[in-house]
Amino acid sequence: MKKMIIKELLGDYKKILHHDITVQGWVRAFRSNRFIALNDGSTMANLQIVVDFENFDKDTISKISVASSLKITGEVVESQGSGQVIEIIAKKIVILGDNFTEERDKTILQPKKHSLEVLREQAHLRFRTNLFSAVFRVRSAVSFAIHEFYNKNHFFYINTPIITGADAEGAGEMFSVTNFDLNNIPRNEEGEIDYTEDFFGKKTNLTVSGQLEAETAAMGLGRVYTFGPTFRAENSNTTRHLAEFWMVEPEVAFNNLENNIDLAEDFLKYVISYVLKNCAEDLEFLNSRFADEQKQKPEKDRAKEGLIEKLENVIKKRFMRVSYTEAIEILMNSKENKKGKFQYPVDRWGIDLQSEHERFLVEKHFESPVVLFDYPKEIKAFYMRLNDDNKTVAAMDVLFPGIGEIIGGSQREERLDVLKAKMQDMNVDEHELWWYMDTRKFGSVPHAGFGLGLERLVLFVTGMTNIRDVIPFPRTPKNAEF
Amino acid sequence: MKKMIIKELLGDYKKILHHDITVQGWVRAFRSNRFIALNDGSTMANLQIVVDFENFDKDTISKISVASSLKITGEVVESQGSGQVIEIIAKKIVILGDNFTEERDKTILQPKKHSLEVLREQAHLRFRTNLFSAVFRVRSAVSFAIHEFYNKNHFFYINTPIITGADAEGAGEMFSVTNFDLNNIPRNEEGEIDYTEDFFGKKTNLTVSGQLEAETAAMGLGRVYTFGPTFRAENSNTTRHLAEFWMVEPEVAFNNLENNIDLAEDFLKYVISYVLKNCAEDLEFLNSRFADEQKQKPEKDRAKEGLIEKLENVIKKRFMRVSYTEAIEILMNSKENKKGKFQYPVDRWGIDLQSEHERFLVEKHFESPVVLFDYPKEIKAFYMRLNDDNKTVAAMDVLFPGIGEIIGGSQREERLDVLKAKMQDMNVDEHELWWYMDTRKFGSVPHAGFGLGLERLVLFVTGMTNIRDVIPFPRTPKNAEF
């Protein structure tokens, strides 16, 4: 008997109408001892199975209830009921797995609503819910769209190291990786920890970014991108931070800052278009959920656009491109600033922008995604290219409504002498980064790149609000279950 | 002026013949003060630039040599010389980056042959060589083909955790991840290390496999795969082992062992076909290199097929499917075994197969990729499904010529009682894996999956022999540079 997944079946049912097929899945509901809503994870939609209970033994019927798993063979027919186009008239039912009803009723699989917090504690079962199966299908589509975009544009995917001996980048606190027996750490004659005895013969950490290594690859392959896990050992218990998250980092030889901004805009629009096109059902569900959530908020806090509407608008508009200097003027002259409504008042050129400032620019002033560029050199990393004004660097941040910074990047400093001076000023060890310095010798070229945090993009696309709800197994302070 | 990358230019030159364009890249050679071979990493091929040195100032000409970087504007014309279809008549040359000749000549960029060992020490410059740019372009194509295959087949990409609190899987030695100051590790009243004080509040490690978490995802989403880094803290200094490598792990609800083998075969053939189709130039280069290498070996050790021929043959043939029991008989009765030519004699059912046995089966006996299945339960992991004979488990290994095991997988034990008994027998802690046990309650279903080591597949496809040469920045004992 032909086995099919529900997505294929619903997409192409005309060919198999009035044929017998086999489907397998989990029971989401069983009404009137007659209608099974079967889900196999391939799509949001359940398949309706019609059971004539007279045709099956009692024992089988008694084992059909929420969370049990079934293999069903039957005829595909047009549905008489509303809500579905086709249904299956069951001819054979095999119970694959029981639902352990009593234990189930202590889990999130019991048939009632659960809070996101409770769902998080049973992350291994979240895949079985409508909400999280939708979120993780969308996350998968976002990931594929990322690879497809770069592949179409002649980028090469490269894997930069996860375990790194470098800790110079300074993007954040790092986790140590060691093979030492912590009860018996070897020490040298001076009594210091003897890292030459550790697995790698030196102190090693988990990477905070693949950028520096990606630059070396771009200096040979031209256009490259990474897409892998990165880590921060920061004790931030917020809805925006994870200790382990996935980052996409393109790096392009011969690109300047403007090319870099164009790339970021094209990239984000491609991915969002892909999801709109390929995840329609999941987005419909998330859109309704988002609308319901908004209704429960006080009117002034409600989003102005629906979820799908928001995604469509991002694609339509050209992102606003605004220099840091212009942004500071807008902020300084804003009513909000003058009335003291910002927690951090904007009083001079040179300050670092806070999330409240970014959100003001995006959500109130421009009502559009905004790309800020040319930041003061003091508040940005050593590798960003110094502009001719000697005050700013060719940095860029893409700010999205509801999310804030979704991309951060820059043109890189390709001039060896300028780079060296910057490193000295900022106390970055040149010797440790000997290989990075090499990329500025032997045919140094202008180049640029950026980093996108995958989870922030998935938050934006799904309308979820806590970053722990868009990664299957979140890693946060005091939490590494599963 | 229209900027183009060399791959686009060579692929579509007819449209721009006799137009002016701009190209940028690195000098691979400069002959007779007249012909520049320019490479921008987008493809193996160099673009020929014709320079009338009378038209340019001496200073510019003097800076053009191996490893310097240029921006050239000129007319696209059909080439008079052999070896290329088109060339560019330079009208404007901008030196982007000097080549620091003296320093360059201490690097692998100096224009002469270098050993793979020397190249490895300058991994950051390997991207600039013909060989490694080809290898890493092919690696990128392999990675994209993997995502494309699973996407086309309705799999969802999921990210399983890199930092894990579980260490029960037993696939290998694990690295510790910690935020402790190793000079000042907190201890509890009993004097034991107080992991509740560590970042995650417990002892954590780097993952050796995402399988167990992927299973929980498959129990909701149906068809899933992971593709991410995995780690082994094993002191193996061989050409086959890395401490950090990338693994692909599909996991499929409702699949049995046969479906699993079919999936593995379809998957490998898809990826290899993709590379043959999309990396023709890189494979040509690697094919010649492979042929040259073979010539230097004694005749008996030479590969029977060329590299491309080998790849084409893998696609054509159906993989041989052989049970462990059959394989043991073949090995026991082989001349090699009887004449004592195996280092590990095959004397009874139940032994673990060594690499020499696998290679005999693949390269001598069957002359084909081989899938071994139904292994003795004692030599396989606790989660593999017990067969009805009570002696074997539904495990499978795919063995490839020259590589040995390229895929290992199994149908998983979905029966809670059998799984529990297995875990008890094998001393796996049920309580630590409470969430894994849950997947066998609440609608447990038959399911199966496997793991593919990306680097082993890239070795096979590129004909390289040392695994450190197919990952940009290899991590091995005493080595975590870059």
Residue B430: predicted pLDDT: 92
Check residue B304 and give its pLDDT.
Answer: 87
Q: To probe the interface with A, which of B110, B414, B437, B442 has the most A CB atoms within 10 Å?
A: B442
Q: Residue B296: is its pLDDT beyond 90? A: yes
Looking at residue A170, its pLDDT comes to 64
Contact assessment for residue B40 and residue B24, using Cβ atoms and an 8 Å cutoff = yes
User: Mutate which of A26, A65, A151, A159 to disrupt the B interface (most B C-beta within 10 Å)?
Assistant: A159
Q: Nearest Cα to A219, choosing from A261, A267, A172, A253?
A: A253
What pLDDT is stored for residue A12 in this prediction?
A: 83
Residue A107 with chain B: CB contacts under 8 Å: 438, 442
What radius of gyration, in Å, describes the C-alpha atoms of chain A? 27
Asked whether this chain's domains B2-106 and B130-173+208-469 adopt the same fold, the reply is no
Cβ <8 Å between A221 and B124:
no
The percent of residues in chain A predicted with pLDDT above 70, rounded, is: 99
pLDDT score at A81 = 81
Is the confidence at residue B171, as pLDDT, over 80?
no
B240: β partners: none
3-class DSSP state of A386: strand
| Partner-chain residue, chosen from A124, A439, A442, that has the shortest CB–CB distance to B435 | A124
Mean pLDDT computed over B324-345 = 97
Q: What is the 3-state secondary structure (H, E, C) of chain B?
A: CCECCHHHHHHCHHHHCCCEEEEEEEEEEEECCCEEEEECCCCCCCEEEECCHHHCCHHHHHHCCCCCEEEEEEEEEECCCCCCCEEEEEEEEEEEECCCHHHHCCCCCCCCCCCHHHHHHCHHHHCCCHHHHHHHHHHHHHHHHHHHHHHHCCCEECCCCCEECCCCCCCCCCCEEECCCCCCCCECCCCCECHHHCCCCCCEEECCCCHHHHHHHHHHHCEEEEEEEEECCCCCCCCCCCCEEEEEEEEEECCCHHHHHHHHHHHHHHHHHHHHHHCHHHHHHHHHHHHHHHHCCCHHHCCCCCHHHHHHHHHHCCCEEEEHHHHHHHHHCCHHHHCCCCCCCCCCCCCCCCHHHHHHHHHHHCCCCEEEEEEEHHHCCCCECECCCCCEEEEEEEEECCCEEEEEEEEECCCHHHHHHHHHHCCCCCCCCHHHHHCCCCCCCCEEEEEEEHHHHHHHHHCCCCHHHCCCCCCECCECCC
Write the DSSP string, A327-385.
HHHHHHTSHHHHTT-SSS---STTPPPPHHHHHIIIIIIS-S-EEEEEEEGGGS-TTBP
Q: Would you state the torsion angle of the CA atoms of residues B359, B360, B366, B367, taken in this order, to the nearest 10 degrees?
A: 60
Residues A154-190 pLDDT 10s? 999 999 999 998 775 666 799 999 999 999 999 999 9
In chain A, what residues touch B218 (CB-CB under 8 Å)? 41
What is the C-alpha separation between A89 and A49, in angstroms, rounded? 6
B103–A24 CB contact, under 8 Å: no
Q: With an 8 Å Cβ cutoff, are B475 and A246 in contact?
A: no
Q: Rounded to an integer, what is the distance from CA B47 to the centroid of its chain?
A: 29
From the list A299, A472, A42, A140, the residue with the least C-alpha distance to B156 is A140
For B367-376, write each residue's pLDDT tens digit: 999 999 999 9
Half-sphere exposure in the Cβ direction for B50 (13 Å, CA) = 12
Q: Where are the domains of chain B?
A: 2-106, 130-173+208-469
A457 pLDDT above the threshold of 90: yes
| Segment B376-409, tens digit of pLDDT | 999 999 999 999 999 999 999 999 999 999 999 9
Residue B74 to chain A, least CA–CA distance (Å): 17
Closest-CA distance, B431 to chain A, in angstroms, reads 12
Averaged pLDDT score across all residues of chain A: 95
The confidence score (pLDDT) of residue A82 equals: 82
With a cut of 90, say whether residue B300 has pLDDT above it.
no
- Find chain B residues with C-beta within 8 A of A175's C-beta: 163, 177-179, 199
Pick from B392, B314, B408, B398: nearest CA to B361: B398
Containing A261, the helix (H) or strand (E) segment is helix A257-278
Q: Tell me whether 0.95 is exceeded by the ipTM.
A: yes
Q: Cβ-count burial of B164 within 10 angstroms (0-12 exposed, 13-18 middle, 19+ buried)?
A: buried
- Taking 70 as the threshold, does the pLDDT of residue B30 lie above it? yes
User: Which residue is associated with the tokens 């912590």?
Assistant: A182
Of A162, A472, A478, nearest to B229 by CB-CB distance is: A162
With tokens 């429960």, the residue in question is A296
Percent of chain B with pLDDT over 90: 93
Contact call for residues A169 and A232 (beta carbons, < 8 A):
no
pLDDT digits (tens, 9 = 90+) for B110-150: 999 999 999 999 999 999 999 999 999 999 999 999 999 99
Closest by Cβ to B124, choosing from A156, A163, A439: A439
Contacts of A157 in chain B (CB under 8 A): 139-140, 143-144
What is the full DSSP assignment across A12-61? SGGGGTTSEEEEEEEEEEEETTTEEEEE-SSSSPPEEEE--GGGS-HHHH
| B182 with A180: Cβ contact below 8 A | yes
Answer whether B70's CB lies under 8 Å from B9's CB.
no
Per residue in A356-397, pLDDT tens? 999 999 999 999 999 999 999 999 999 999 999 999 999 999
Q: Tell me: the pLDDT tens digits for A121-151?
A: 999 999 999 999 999 999 999 999 999 999 9
Backbone angles phi, psi at A128, to 5 degrees: -90, -5
Nearest residue in chain B measured CA to CA from A416: B97
Structure tokens, B249: 């792990």
Chain B residues inside the 8 Å CB shell of A438: 107, 124-125
Torsion of CA B320, B323, B329, B334, to 10 degrees: 30
To which residue do tokens 């990075």 refer? Answer: A436
Q: Is the pLDDT reported for residue B35 higher than 80? A: yes
pLDDT digits (tens, 9 = 90+) for B188-218: 999 999 999 999 999 999 999 999 999 999 9
CB-CB under 8 Å, A442 with B109? yes
Q: How far is CA A310 from CA A88, A198, A316, in A?
A: 37, 51, 10
A304 pLDDT exceeds 90?
Answer: no
Residues in CB range of A133: below 8 A, 6 or more apart: A39, A41, A44, A127, B220, B221
Q: Please report the pLDDT score of residue B170 as a whole number.
A: 64
Q: Do B199 and A175 touch (CB under 8 A)?
A: yes
**Two tokens, residue A378:** 């003091």
What pLDDT score was predicted for residue A148? 98
**B217 to chain A: closest CA residue:** A127
Half-sphere exposure of B107 (CA within 13 A, CB side): 23
> What's the rounded Cα separation, in Å, for the pair A152 and A131?
31
Within 8 A of B217 by CB-CB distance, chain A residues are: 127, 136, 472
Q: How many residues does chain B have?
A: 482
Phi, psi of B226 (to 5 degrees): -105, 160
Q: Which residues of B touch A246 (CB under 8 A)?
A: 159
* Mean pLDDT score, A448-455: 98
The superfamily in CATH containing domain A2-106 is: Nucleic acid-binding proteins (2.40.50.140)
- The SS3 call for residue A133 is helix
- pLDDT given at position A171: 65
Whether B5 and A222 lie within 8 Å, measured CB to CB = yes
Spatial contact of A248 and A452, defined as CB atoms under 8 Å apart: yes
Average predicted confidence (pLDDT) for chain B:
95
B450 with B265: CB under 8 angstroms? Answer: no
pTM score, whole prediction: 0.98
CA distance A41 to A34: 22
**B370 alpha carbon, distance to own chain's centre:** 20
Indicate if the pLDDT at residue B350 is higher than 80: yes
Residue B342 · residue B357 · CB < 8 Å: yes
Mutation site for B-interface testing, chosen from A73, A470, A482 by largest number of B Cβ within 10 Å: A482
Residue A74 above 70 pLDDT?
A: yes
The per-residue pLDDT for B169 is 60
Per-residue confidence (pLDDT) for residue B168, from 0 to 100: 59
Q: Indicate whether A323 pLDDT > 70.
A: yes
Name the least confident of A318-322, B64-68, B427-431.
B427-431
Say which CATH superfamily domain A130-173+208-469 falls into. Answer: Bira Bifunctional Protein; Domain 2 (3.30.930.10)
CA distance B325 to chain A (A): 30
Question: What is the chain A residue with the closest CA to B227?
Answer: A228
